[in-house]
Amino acid sequence: MCNASARRKKIQKRRLGNNGPEVSAIGLGCMGLSFAFGPAAEKSAAIRLIHRAVELGVTFFDTAEVYGPYVNEELLGEALESRRQQVVFGTKFGFAMNQDGSPGWSGLNSRPDNIRSVTEASLRRLRTDHIDLLYQHRVDPEVPIEEVAGAVSELIAEGKVGHFGLSEAGVDTIRRAHAVQPVAALQSEYSMWWREPEGEIIPVLEELGIALVPFSPLGRGFLTGKIDATTEFAEGDIRTRLPRFAPEMLAANQALVDLLRRAGSDVNATPAQLALAWILAQRPWIVPIPGTKRIERLEENLGAARLELPAELLTEFSAALDDIRIVGERYPEVMQKLVNR
């Protein structure tokens, strides 16, 4: 693991898209502080973690209206109001939130009027006058992507939004959106546990000058080496519903963690650090956003930005990785339907 001196160094920067904002090479995915991975973090502890991230050089913070819902944006707004000039906010629209006051969502909604109302509400919760990067959270088959891009373009012209992003969008959608309003970043799952974007998505992003922002770059914790077939997840943890986290699947995929441990020992890195450093080595315009509730894990993850992988090790590791067969679906069918490919 990186030593204390290395942890004090600021991490490098990368640019989101050809003309997007410059951000820290590793951002902070904030969803898990409020939502999806068991009980929410206590607010004061969450704010301390966010402040520590800023101290360590993190400038890119990811959230969405649906996280909570709403409370994750409120948390970031409170934590970062006094530090607003130092950070880049990424948030998202696109879900139809329950209208009866109950938590959650009931479908998709990327109609232009909803995009505008969601943006105005997000601005209030984030305590800011502009959103640096506004993503469509999931592609809405009922609304042409050209209308979505046009609505965001209007918000950009008004100064309420800086840049346009997509999430889990397919190649055709990316091209059509980009033709109307340049897309700065695509946020999609990508890790050595889920390499599907390497087939078609990454080449198109490279062609168009669009950044990739991988969520779950540590395989929702599996690639840290802290999870195995005996792990019991807390009530409300999304992993209890994901096929790949069934005990038999975790056991079958353990070879990947074993590889991370062996290779990491050669460069004095933890499995999590090596998993993130591998992502960073794939392209200079990839910015992963691992999440955590613990400051020690935050510091560990950020150490990956300073980890220089020797070319020989990277080649050998990638070859070994290609030989490992990953088993299990990443989502149940109902969630997979929300992915636009």
Query: Residue 187 sits in a domain of what CATH number?
Result: 3.20.20.100
What are residue 106's phi and psi, to 5 degrees?
Answer: -125, 15
Q: Does any domain span residue 201?
A: yes
- Which positions are annotated as active-site residues? 67
Q: Cα dist. 25→219, 279, 324 in Å?
A: 18, 11, 27
Alpha-carbon span 2 to 264, nearest angstrom: 12
Query: DSSP secondary-structure letter at 158?
Result: T
Q: Does any domain span residue 263?
A: no
Query: What's the confidence (pLDDT) of residue 12?
Result: 95
Taking the model in full, what pTM does it have? 0.96
* Helix 254-266 with 271-282: angle, nearest 10 deg: 90
Query: What's the confidence (pLDDT) of residue 137?
Result: 98
- Residues with pLDDT less than 70, the chain: 1-9, 101
Find, among 224, 215, 232, the residue nearest to 330 by Cα: 215
Q: What order of strands is seen across the sheet that includes strand 88-93?
A: 28-29, 60-62, 88-93, 131-136, 161-167, 183-189, 211-215
Q: Rg for the chain (alpha carbons), in Å?
A: 19
Positive or negative torsion for Cα 93, 95, 96, 99: negative
The domain in which residue 113 lies consists of 10-224+270-308
Query: What's the confidence (pLDDT) of residue 103?
Result: 73
Q: Does any domain span residue 194?
A: yes
Q: Does any domain span residue 22?
A: yes
Q: Does any domain span residue 2?
A: no
The count of structural domains within the chain is 1
Q: Does any domain span residue 48?
A: yes
Q: Does any domain span residue 262?
A: no
Query: What's the confidence (pLDDT) of residue 6?
Result: 41
Q: Does any domain span residue 18?
A: yes
Hunting for tokens 């030989």 — which residue is that? 323
HSE at residue 151, side-chain half, CA atoms within 13 A, is: 22
- pLDDT tens, residue by residue, 132-170: 999 999 999 999 999 999 999 999 999 999 999 999 999
- pLDDT tens, residue by residue, 268-293: 999 999 999 999 999 999 999 999 99
